[in-house]
Structure 1
Amino acid sequence: MTQPEKIRCDACPVMCYIAPGQTGACDRYANDAGRIIRTDPVVFLSKTLAGGGRVVPFAARDWDGDPFPDDAQITGIGSGTTYPDYKPAPFIIASEVDGAEMVTVVTEAIFSYCGVKVKIDTDRFLGPEGATVRAGEEAIGHVTTAEYGSQMLSLGGVHHLTGGEKSEGRVTCAALLALCNGEAVELVIDQGSAVTVQAGRAPIVDGRVENRMRVGCGSATIGMFADQWQGLVDEVVVVDDHITGVVSEHQAGKVLGWADTGIKILGRRSTPGRYFRVSEPGLGWGGTQVSDPLEILGPWNAKKGARAGLRLLMVSTTGEEFAYYELDEALTPQSKPIPDALMPSVKLIDENCEPSLCSVLFMGGAGGSLRAGVTQNPVRLTRSVQARQTRLTSGGAECYVWPGGGITFMVDVLRLPAGAFGYVPTPALVAPLEFTLSRAEYLALGGHAGAIKSLAEMMRDGGEYPTEAKLVPHTGGLG
């Protein structure tokens, strides 16, 4: 009995043999009656449609064939890939914009050289700089430098995708794909915390949902709100892992005429009213290990203004933690109920804190041979992108292109339509790219002139992914 014949798909380096009616290992290409076709529709964007720019998928089951709006823009989502890259990109579309002849080249690029940069808005200590970040048991990245009110992670990259054991590459690829498609991923940081990350959502640190990022460091908080406290309290300390602020010593307090209080902070004094290292980083007040803020205070000095009855407010950089004290006859702070008059200032700190969110930026190097799908002289494309003659977008979203050599770009994954990213089991991520430039400049780059189509021609002819469609006996293989 003759076995059904498989077709070899050359859309990625895995080169699956796909049986009739089945998809390859990536679920992106299928054997449809002897042709390799894409399983996802090409996605268009339009800003004029109802919903303020909703996504319009071409060839989706609910598309009724009505003409597309004039401002419809083709994206690389669902377009297919240029692999093996001697071929022109799947779609090279001519258009006219304000009387200018333009060309948009779209592709789904295969990225082994890629990763994500994760910004986590929290004061909580996630782990030491350089610590390994794991998904399950596998290392997929590391903690990088902390920025203002945020902890940063660098995940992925070619060494994790392809430089380790197969399991490390698979887990890294799966984590990157989930993050890029807006899904939640549980991460564990060596010598640090467990954190659940999801683009556009609050991080969950050691099982606790973070609510807000700090309004600023302790010094900045003093500078912003010193006048709110004047006359209501004698001393304010804003506890912070990075820079703890003391209003009586701070320049903001001095300008307001704040009297000395004889306070002593157990930390490394920087400039007046600013202290470093009052505690090690942690999950307590202001990202410190402090649970009792009095831990950071030394003996009060009567010769420098300390006195019985002196009023002290201690507060964190988010306003989530606060406490009020008065000095007794022995100049020891005694906890008291916070006066009603002080609560608005604490709430003002809280009000000025933005919601705590996770941001995920995909970062890739659009180099190698994928550029050959755009032009027969790839370095000209690189130079054109760097010179901003060619506009680079990803799924219609604006990209930041790094200066220097190559086409290294970043894009906020939330600016792309849902499900815009895919993968191939090499392992590598697949991301949509669009290169838009004038037709004259495209031809000057050595572009594939014979592959240019109008949008009408594309709509009429379709664009199944070209393949050699090699037929092989049904004897096994991927897919």
Structure 2
Amino acid sequence: MQDPAPAVADDKIRCDACPVMCFIKPGALGACDRYGNEAGVLVRVDPHVVLDHWLSDGGAVVPFNAGALDWDGSILREPATFITAIGAGTTYPDYKPAPFIVASEVEGVDMVTIVTEGIFSYCGVKVKIDTDRHLGPERALVRADGEPVGHVTTGEYGSQMLSLGGVHHLTGGTKREGRATCDALLALCNGAAVELTVDEGATVLVQAGKPPLVNGQVEERMRVGCGSATIGMFAKQWFGKVDEVVVVDDHITGVLSEHQAGKLLGIADSGIKMKGRRSTPGRYFQVAEPGTGWGGTNIADPLQILGSFDPRKARPSLTMLMVSTTGEHASYYVLDEALRPVEQTMPDDLARSVALIQENCEPALSTVLFMGGAGGSLRAGVTENPVRLTRSVKDALTVVTCGGAPTYVWPGGGITFMVDVSKVPANGFGYVPTPALVAPVEFTLRLSDYEKLGGHMDHVRPLSEFRGPAAHRTRVPHRAENPWPLMPDAARGPHR
């Protein structure tokens, strides 16, 4: 884990791990806090993370021997150790081979894993926020520490999406914008909470795997569906217990008596009149403006979205339930002699139906996906002919992981991948003050295919060499929810 570095005046050494090229005093760290000067030697101060998968044929756990990775593998189905790129170092400057190119045998197949930390300026995070509340208009700027770091994208089914980072925010704006963007991305990728503000919108506290806070309010659940879908799911729960149901939703508000589900159940027309734009029967768009009230609208009183009842169809004592798509808001009404809805205490059977809606809502979470493009410098650390690596990934001959976690590789040109940061070992991401993010990347493929790529074969080392004292190495248990990177089902290409 050590690199020799040229000495300069005052016993400083120059770090060449990134384009900043820091001069580091003895006992001090570089600007990234990742490399330090230890007695005149450039040292990677973060531990190098190794995944343990100690799985034996009999199901027994194989003990880890004080940091020595020297188990001979004789009774294991596959190597129980996976060398990740977390803490491994980078390929910078571009011509250097990857820090670790590790050979192992999996079910009789010679495999190789190329391990490197990539420096990503072309990167960002996609944030999925489970909420019905309006966060801000599409394309509105999202800010961290007052600086623009991204924008609001599309609203999805029960979630709002943010796109943060990217090269234009990291390097195309002011220095302060670049630093704020890098800080926000790093914190989100490493599982920390970040407060974001949306222009003309809400303030949101986001943390991967945790419920979001919108304007200081914790989101407990995401909606069960749009208003129309809710009608379809729960129409039978209301049949015979109430004359009309309106499910309030910012996108599609549902009306039971007009909806096909109500028609099939034989529910009579209630004479209800809705504001907004009618779509197909029982479905209404734009009943109110987006907001943080009922069903993601800006209303606090659901009667605001109703017109007058049609006296030719409505009648006094007609009953009506109005409910939001999360069940968070619900009210029960009875029409008086003037056909005006008057709020009454909700009957128990309808209260149970509202509780059922709540039960069917999944817990609201914030999900953070790191997205980066693996470009020339990273690929050059794998092979002298970088385009062959790209083709190998596209042909599913090479599996891409991030700290051992599974990734999704986008179709089309280049190696653009996404990873759920909650599946990456803790503190798996770093930064360099250019500014750019540092993310772990591993490429796993057959050794024979690697040779065909023009890989750095003279730098291949067997897994058995990773043994002995490991002052700069830490073992981390493999997460059971992740596929083991060396297993056939996780490496479809090598075991095709």
- Sort the Cα spacing of 1:126 and 1:272 in 2 relative to 1 into closer, same or farther, 3 A: same
Residue identity over aligned pairs, in percent, reads: 68
- Sort the Cα spacing of 1:97 and 1:331 in 2 relative to 1 into closer, same or farther, 3 A: same
- Sort the Cα spacing of 1:140 and 1:209 in 2 relative to 1 into closer, same or farther, 3 A: same
- Is the contact made by 1:280 and 1:289 (CA closer than 8 Å) also made in structure 2? yes
Unaligned 5+ runs, structure 1: 51-57, 465-479
* Structure 1 residue 31 displacement after superposition: 1.6
SS at match of 1:145: strand
Residue in 2 that maps onto 1:446: 454
1:30 counterpart = 2:31: no
Residue in 2 that maps onto 1:54: none
Residue in 2 that maps onto 1:359: 367
TM-score, normalising length from structure 1?
0.92
Pick the aligned partner of 2:108 from 99, 103, 117.
Answer: 99
* Structure 1 residue 19 displacement after superposition: 1.6
Query: What residue identity is the alignment partner of 1:361?
Result: L
Unaligned 5+ runs, structure 2: 1-7, 57-63, 74-78, 473-496
- Is the contact made by 2:69 and 2:464 (CA closer than 8 Å) also made in structure 1? no
Deviations 1:327-351 (A, max 9, x none): 0111000110001121111100000
Residue in 2 that maps onto 1:282: 291
* Structure 1 residue 450 displacement after superposition: 0.4
Residue in 1 that maps onto 2:483: none
Pick the aligned partner of 2:467 from 456, 459, 463.
Answer: 459
- Is the contact made by 1:7 and 1:34 (CA closer than 8 Å) also made in structure 2? yes
Query: What residue identity is the alignment partner of 1:65?
Result: A
Residue in 2 that maps onto 1:476: none
Deviations 1:256-298 (A, max 9, x none): 1111110000010000000000000001000001100000000
- Give me the whole-angstrom Cα distance separating, in 1, the residues matched to 2:415 and 2:454: 18
Residue in 2 that maps onto 1:127: 136
- Is the contact made by 2:91 and 2:377 (CA closer than 8 Å) also made in structure 1? no
Q: How does 1:54-203 map to 2 (within 5 A)?
A: 63-65=66-68, 67=70, 70-203=79-212
- Give me the whole-angstrom Cα distance separating, in 1, the residues matched to 2:443 and 2:266: 59
- Sort the Cα spacing of 1:117 and 1:249 in 2 relative to 1 into closer, same or farther, 3 A: same
Query: What residue identity is the alignment partner of 1:315?
Result: V
- Sort the Cα spacing of 1:447 and 1:462 in 2 relative to 1 into closer, same or farther, 3 A: farther
Residue in 1 that maps onto 2:348: 340
Residue in 1 that maps onto 2:482: none
Query: What residue identity is the alignment partner of 1:43?
Result: V
SS at match of 1:295: helix
Pick the aligned partner of 2:317 from 309, 312, 317.
Answer: 309
Q: For this pair of structures, how many residues does the alignment match?
A: 453
* Structure 1 residue 136 displacement after superposition: 1.6
SS at match of 1:141: strand
Computed over aligned residues only, the root mean square deviation of the Cα atoms, in angstroms, reads 1.9
1:402 counterpart = 2:405: no
Residue in 1 that maps onto 2:484: none
1:387 counterpart = 2:395: yes
- Give me the whole-angstrom Cα distance separating, in 1, the residues matched to 2:36 and 2:176: 26
- Give me the whole-angstrom Cα distance separating, in 1, the residues matched to 2:291 and 2:25: 55
- Sort the Cα spacing of 1:212 and 1:113 in 2 relative to 1 into closer, same or farther, 3 A: same
- Is the contact made by 2:90 and 2:119 (CA closer than 8 Å) also made in structure 1? yes
Query: What residue identity is the alignment partner of 1:29?
Result: Y
- Sort the Cα spacing of 1:76 and 1:64 in 2 relative to 1 into closer, same or farther, 3 A: closer
Query: What residue identity is the alignment partner of 1:369?
Result: S
Residue in 1 that maps onto 2:268: 259
Residue in 2 that maps onto 1:48: 54
Deviations 1:372-403 (A, max 9, x none): 00000000001111111000000001000000
* Structure 1 residue 5 displacement after superposition: 1.2
Residue in 1 that maps onto 2:491: none
Query: What residue identity is the alignment partner of 1:436?
Result: T
- Give me the whole-angstrom Cα distance separating, in 2, the residues matched to 1:250 and 1:89: 61
Query: What residue identity is the alignment partner of 2:68?
Result: G
* Structure 1 residue 21 displacement after superposition: 2.0
Query: What residue identity is the alignment partner of 2:42?
Result: I
1:329 counterpart = 2:345: no
Query: What residue identity is the alignment partner of 2:40?
Result: G
* Structure 1 residue 32 displacement after superposition: 2.0
Residue in 1 that maps onto 2:76: none
Residue in 2 that maps onto 1:18: 24
* Structure 1 residue 65 displacement after superposition: 3.3
Residue in 2 that maps onto 1:473: none
1:373 counterpart = 2:381: yes
Deviations 1:217-239 (A, max 9, x none): 00000000000000000000000
Deviations 1:139-196 (A, max 9, x none): 0000000000000000000000000110000010000000000000001100000110
* Structure 1 residue 118 displacement after superposition: 0.2
- Sort the Cα spacing of 1:282 and 1:63 in 2 relative to 1 into closer, same or farther, 3 A: farther
* Structure 1 residue 4 displacement after superposition: 3.9
- Sort the Cα spacing of 1:339 and 1:198 in 2 relative to 1 into closer, same or farther, 3 A: same
* Structure 1 residue 90 displacement after superposition: 0.1
- Give me the whole-angstrom Cα distance separating, in 2, the residues matched to 1:457 and 1:30: 25
Deviations 1:10-50 (A, max 9, x none): 00000011122221111111122222121122111123379
- Give me the whole-angstrom Cα distance separating, in 1, the residues matched to 2:366 and 2:246: 29
TM-score, normalising length from structure 2?
0.89
* Structure 1 residue 458 displacement after superposition: 3.4
Residue in 2 that maps onto 1:219: 228
- Is the contact made by 2:68 and 2:469 (CA closer than 8 Å) also made in structure 1? no
- Sort the Cα spacing of 1:87 and 1:461 in 2 relative to 1 into closer, same or farther, 3 A: farther
Residue in 1 that maps onto 2:279: 270
Residue in 2 that maps onto 1:53: none
- Is the contact made by 1:91 and 1:463 (CA closer than 8 Å) also made in structure 2? no
Query: What residue identity is the alignment partner of 1:378?
Result: P
Query: What residue identity is the alignment partner of 1:84?
Result: P
SS at match of 2:376: coil
- Is the contact made by 2:36 and 2:45 (CA closer than 8 Å) also made in structure 1? yes
* Structure 1 residue 63 displacement after superposition: 4.6
